[in-house]
Chains A and B, each alone.
Chain A
């Protein structure tokens, strides 16, 4: 390939990638009739022949999407998907369940229904990663050697790191926690609804670690505020949001917008506070502040625990060896292609990836094809120029019926898919429609490798 051809190829890839993202979100706006169809690319039809053994650890959103993409692009590969959990959770829907918008079963399906043909699902948990020996070992002691490994284990919600916290109490005594499970999200809705009937002090927070969808704690604060207003108890209530740092969102322009909205809604904000312990009986949350501790008496609290890598990854050679993520154990992958920095035949996608942004389903949507493209190129003995720019999106619900469709990348740039039509920092119904109607079908299509 000449230099010029190469340049043209890169340009074309970039162009397709951009259209593609727009096309993806267009699914959401399909109701608006802005359909943007693209012809089937010739590339998808070609399959790469190989006898490579590929192990995918974790069958959540990232693991299943990776399995689908690999199964479509490879012929003859032995693809093994390892995960003990039989249920599949549509996690972007947890906030909707906890907001009383959708029932609990809206977010629950089964892993088996998304496993593509030709991929073996091993119902076990990975206990040990051995990237030097090119194998993983499951809890039953079974060893799975691989040529390529995709780590998609997701993360661990570290409730134990908050003294006094008891997961079994979620839904009782004003305790909510939307991330824990579909049942806990539903129980949180019961607790929040009871709180909205009475009014009182609502305490919201986010952990000091990296976390899944950093917009969720904000969304839930907004939704609770709206319920209090609708039920006429906002006047006798106080809503306090506790941020772990000096901002409200990692993207400065979004942080500023949220600050203004919080001011508008009368949400009190405390900066640089993390939840240190909780007394569930007395309903007291103790926060670590810059100069000691502070206690907050609450009537309702949404506890979001610290998040970190699962023990199997944390105790392996895969995490970062230096920098801010050593303790949390996120995988040391290159942020542009999700390839492990020290083990080139290992990729990390989804929540487990130690990259600056993301931990959302939208990140998974854009990470997986890039990682898979590099893996398949390795097998074919080619070079891949696929690049993940950190694109992710967050339909940030700001009240029932409205959301801001915030899209951004590693560089904190806003990357709106419909510039001039759907303004990223505007509270819009159309963004809400996307969240409630179109995201789940699009997500399911992603699991099947179809979107």
Chain B
């Protein structure tokens, strides 16, 4: 068939990650929503919280690389060319950004709840 649609990608990723795909998707959607709502509510970015979240994000990036290596049966010295470094940077970047957003949102909502009390 001379076409590709998002469902194919979904099928491929489902085959790749199994049930983990749904956990990840849920996490992405819920995390992004929580982040956006928090931003709207606070109407500012709390820089102290952001820096702390970014520190956690570094660990998240490393975790993403470990997960990638495990799923692809790779070692940690396999990079051979620019495309590999690009992929590594991308996986690390996604892990970093994802974790930062999640941690920032979680910390923000915790602060909100404490304020409410």
Residues of A within 8 A of B (CB): 16-17, 20, 23-24, 26-27, 30-33, 35-41, 43-44, 69, 72, 96, 101-102, 369, 400-402, 418, 421-423, 426-430, 432-433, 436-438, 440-442, 444-445, 448-451
Residues of the B chain whose Cβ atoms lie less than 8 Å from the Cβ of A421: 83, 86
- Find the B residue at minimum CB distance from A440: B15
Residues of B within 8 A of A (CB): 1-9, 11-16, 68, 71-75, 77-81, 83-84, 86-87, 90-91, 94
Given pairs A429-B74, A433-B87, 8 additional interface contacts (CB within 8 A): A17-B2, A418-B83, A421-B83, A428-B84, A429-B79, A433-B72, A441-B14, A450-B11
A27 touches B83 (CB 8 A): no
Interface centre among B4, B68, B75, B77 (most CB of A within 10 A): B4
A432 touches B78 (CB 8 A): yes
A441 touches B83 (CB 8 A): no
Query: Nearest Cβ distance between residue B19 and chain A, in whole angstroms?
Result: 15
A426 touches B81 (CB 8 A): yes
Query: Nearest Cβ distance between residue B80 and chain A, in whole angstroms?
Result: 5
For the complex of A and B, list the 9 residue pairs with the smallest distance between their C-beta atoms, beginning with the closest.
A401-B78, A441-B15, A441-B12, A429-B78, A429-B84, A23-B4, A433-B72, A437-B72, A430-B83
Residues of the B chain whose Cβ atoms lie less than 8 Å from the Cβ of A43: 2
CA distance A450 to B12 in the complex (A): 10
Residues of the A chain whose Cβ atoms lie less than 8 Å from the Cβ of B80: 402, 426-429
CA distance A423 to B80 in the complex (A): 11
Query: Nearest Cβ distance between residue B72 and chain A, in whole angstroms?
Result: 5
CA distance A185 to B36 in the complex (A): 51
B2 touches A16 (CB 8 A): yes
Residues of the A chain whose Cβ atoms lie less than 8 Å from the Cβ of B87: 31-32, 429-430, 433
With A401-B78, A429-B84, A445-B12 known as contacts, the answer to whether A32 contacts B7 (CB < 8 A) is no
CA distance A291 to B84 in the complex (A): 46
B74 touches A44 (CB 8 A): no
CA distance A30 to B71 in the complex (A): 14
B75 touches A27 (CB 8 A): no
Residues of the A chain whose Cβ atoms lie less than 8 Å from the Cβ of B9: 27, 30, 35, 37
A432 touches B74 (CB 8 A): yes
Partner of A432, one of B12, B72, B91: B72
CA distance A429 to B73 in the complex (A): 11
Residues of the A chain whose Cβ atoms lie less than 8 Å from the Cβ of B1: 44, 69, 72, 369, 449-451
Residues of the B chain whose Cβ atoms lie less than 8 Å from the Cβ of A102: 73
B71 touches A441 (CB 8 A): no
CA distance A401 to B77 in the complex (A): 8
Residues of the B chain whose Cβ atoms lie less than 8 Å from the Cβ of A36: 4
With A43-B2, A69-B1 known as contacts, the answer to whether A445 contacts B11 (CB < 8 A) is yes
CA distance A23 to B5 in the complex (A): 10
Residues of the B chain whose Cβ atoms lie less than 8 Å from the Cβ of A450: 1, 7-8, 11
B2 touches A369 (CB 8 A): yes
- Find the A residue at minimum CB distance from B68: A31
Interface centre among B77, B79, B84, B90 (most CB of A within 10 A): B84
Query: Nearest Cβ distance between residue B22 and chain A, in whole angstroms?
Result: 16
Interface centre among A40, A427, A433 (most CB of B within 10 A): A433
Query: Nearest Cβ distance between residue B97 and chain A, in whole angstroms?
Result: 12
Residues of the B chain whose Cβ atoms lie less than 8 Å from the Cβ of A433: 68, 72, 74, 87
Residues of the B chain whose Cβ atoms lie less than 8 Å from the Cβ of A445: 8, 11-12, 15
Residues of the A chain whose Cβ atoms lie less than 8 Å from the Cβ of B3: 20, 38-41, 44
Query: Nearest Cβ distance between residue A236 and chain B, in whole angstroms?
Result: 24
Query: Nearest Cβ distance between residue A388 and chain B, in whole angstroms?
Result: 13
